[in-house]
Amino acid sequence: MDGDVAPLQGICDLAEQYSALVFIDECHATGFMGPRGRGTDELLGVMDRVHIVNSTLGKALGGAAGGYTVGPKALIELLRQRSRPYLFSNSLPPPVVGCATRAVELLLASNEIAQSMAAKTMRFRNNMTQAGFTISGTAHPICPVMLGDARLASLMADDMLKLGVYVIGFSYPVVPKGKARIRVQISAAHTDEDIDRTVDAFIQTGRKHGVIS
């Protein structure tokens, strides 16, 4: 929600100190974080120190539903026998599997998509910061434009839609009180022109509501 990246290197250090396993939930990292889109562990250079990865097919991989767990063979066998979500879930529809498989193939074939995502993310974050907005997090395509006031976030999101930009205002209880924001999600399908148009719409709307001068 805040566009943060977990301090995974420190977590791995701590786990090794106490002979613990490292489990990460990569639902907001798979497909776009790291040079090849493999996730936070690739981004931070600890792929060989993470033992279990849980993630989704329903976000960046485009499958709309489903997820997966990867880890040691013994763990996977245990999950197949004892995991209630696995035992009592239907198999994924073939089109979902096909879509997600193709997305993974595209990521493995070239780092162009992941690098494009990183460049577009920084373009948006840098331009918004230069315009006077506060963007939470660092280098993550989830870019929360911090506003603090729930009504302001809602009004600005409505005005952005009138300018042809669809963004969502978040406020309590989804986020803490006083931390209302508009959450922007950068996509690989966005062009640089899309990014610039969105920034221009934020500047116009932000000036209207006195957020920036």
Judge whether 106 and 96 are in contact, CB under 8 Å. Answer: no
Total number of domains in the chain: 2
Residue 65 pLDDT level (bands cut at 50, 70, 90): confident
Write down which residue in 109, 136, 159 finishes a domain. 109
At residue 50, the pLDDT reads 97
Output the average pLDDT for the chain: 93
Phi-psi region of 18 (alpha: psi -120 to 50; beta: other; left: phi over 0): alpha
Domain assignment present for residue 3? The answer is no
**Alpha-carbon span 211 to 213, nearest angstrom:** 7
| Residues of the domain holding 79 | 8-109
Domain assignment present for residue 213? The answer is no
Residue 203 pLDDT level (bands cut at 50, 70, 90): very high
Interval 18-30: pLDDT, tens: 999 999 999 999 9
Give the CATH number of the domain where residue 27 resides: 3.40.640.10
Best CA proximity match to 92, nearest among 56, 144, 129:
56
Interval 97-117: pLDDT, tens: 899 999 999 999 999 999 999
At residue 7, the pLDDT reads 95
Q: What is the pTM of this model?
A: 0.87
